[in-house]
Every structure is written in C-alpha cells, then in structure tokens.
Amino acid sequence: MSDTDHIRELREPDSTGAAARPEKKPEDAKSFAWFLVKLVLIVLLFRTLVFTSFNIPSESMMPRLLVGDYLFAAKWPYGYSRHSLPFDLDVGDGRLFSTLPERGDVAIFKHPIDKSDYIKRVIGLPGDTIQMMDGVLYINGAAVPKEPVANFVLPTTAARGCGPGRARFTVRQADGSFACSFPQFRETLPNGVSYNVLDLTTVEVDNTPPITVPQGHLLMMGDNRDNSQDSRKPAVANGWVGMVPVENLVGRASFMYFSTDGSAEWLKPWTWFTAARWSRIGKSI
C-alpha cells in the first residue's frame, strides 16, 4: 500500500461505516446569534422596567449633583407611564403600579410642555401648600429648618471662575489652585429627609405666594436655589417647570456610575482618567 493510500485511509470512514465528525460551524453561528438576541432582550427589559441612565447638564442640583455626573434612575418605585417607557408606549391614562414619591426624593421627570428630561427634588405632594419667604421654605405653614454648614468647595480654574456674578466666591487654596466656595445650608423636611442646598444671594423666587399643589401633581425644586428653574414659577418651554404631573415621572435617582469634570480631550486619552471624579463614582443619591 502506498503512502497516499495510507493517508486516504486515515481520512475516510473505516470499514465499520463510522462517519467523519460533522462540522459545527452552522450550529455555533446559530447559538451565537441566539445569545445576541437574548442579550438585546435583557438589555431592553432592563432599560424598560428597571433602570435608565441620565447625565447632569446643569448646576441646578448642586451641591448633591454636579455637571458631568452620570447616574442610574430606578423606574419601578413610581410605576410606569408612557413617559418612562421607550417609544412613548401607551399604557392608558395615568401610570401602571403608580406610587407617589416621598418628600426629598430626587426624581427625573418630563417637562410638562416640551417633554425634555429634568431632575429636581420632590418638595410638595398633592394637597400641600408650599411657600418661600426670604429664602426659607415653608410646607403647610411650617418653616423647614435651614441650618448653615461648611461652605461647598468646588475646584475650578482662574480662567473659568465661578460663573457670572459669582467672582466673590472664588478662593485660592493652599496648593495654589482655585476653587469656588459657596454658602451651604442643611434643610430637614417634615419626614426627616435632610440634604444640603446652596443659597448665594437674594433672587425673585426667594419670596413666593402660597402655592397649593393640585391633585395628581408634584412641586419640584432644585437644591441650588438661586440657579434652578423649577416649580416656583409656571411652566414655560425650555425653562420653568411649574406643577409636574405625577404621570410625567421617569424614575428615582439611585446612584452615580461615572463622573467627569469636563477637562478630558478625545485626542489625549490620559486625560480621560485625570478628568474622572473617582470619589463620586458609586455614590448613592
């Protein structure tokens, strides 16, 4: 028997008729495709019913939230409506499994007019009467305790400063760098929820008439009281939010998964790491 016959004998079925091992490529490709389908379904289910992501574009919730924070918001605590589901899915009137927020919750919601995403703190529930007098918050006629605490210090640059009209808050730190040092206060709501607010000066909405929250609505306020377009004025597109329908709730802010100070440059990968605010990542809200 020649060498060629010997090689053929090794490659062909033996005399018992045993077949060569079948190829698995089509089966492997099918399994991988099914895995991708399941992964997409899991992600969609997660984004639809469990959490949604959100990034902070403004200073209205300082000191708790900073521009450049990225967070997850839990959807299930308040139930579901077309505003919290993808593609504006119609679930009928109101919300499914609806539960009112608690005072002090930080919630994401759709603007009553332009439907853009906003994030504020829940201050007034349906039936509450809310008023601001000389910068002090009143709920149902009782003043919310507002105690001064240590200033909120936020690193900045000499060029950027602390924003228009806030140069007086710019300070130089021991290492020669610059920071903004903002007056900070601790508020404690009637249900015991405490949080810090910024109050830099006197503005128009430091004094408001009594506002009674209609049924099915919420009164929202930003923690940065002098720089927040919230429920202290009637709703206007791309601005003040007025009374927010409960139906417009998207979710309750849960925790931060990333934060950056905005100094990163795409063409300089090392700045992606130096710009990250590592101490904020993973913090609950």
Both tokens assigned to 260: 């950056």
Count of Cβ atoms closer than 10 Å to residue 248 Cβ: 22
Both tokens assigned to 99: 């539960």
Question: Residues 220, 130: contact at Cβ < 8 Å?
Answer: no
| Residues labelled catalytic | 60, 120
Close Cβ partners of 65 (under 8 Å, ≥ 6 residues apart): 56, 71, 106, 119, 223, 253, 285
Report d(CA 84, CA 93) in Å as an integer: 13
| Residue 135 burial (C-beta neighbours within 10 Å; 0-12, 13-18, 19+) | middle
Question: Residues 180, 162: contact at Cβ < 8 Å?
Answer: yes
Task: Name the 3-class secondary structure at 4.
Answer: helix
Report d(CA 95, CA 281) in Å as an integer: 32
Place of tokens 């005072």: 103
Report d(CA 125, CA 211) in Å as an integer: 11
Angle at 279 between CA 276 and CA 284, to 5 degrees: 110
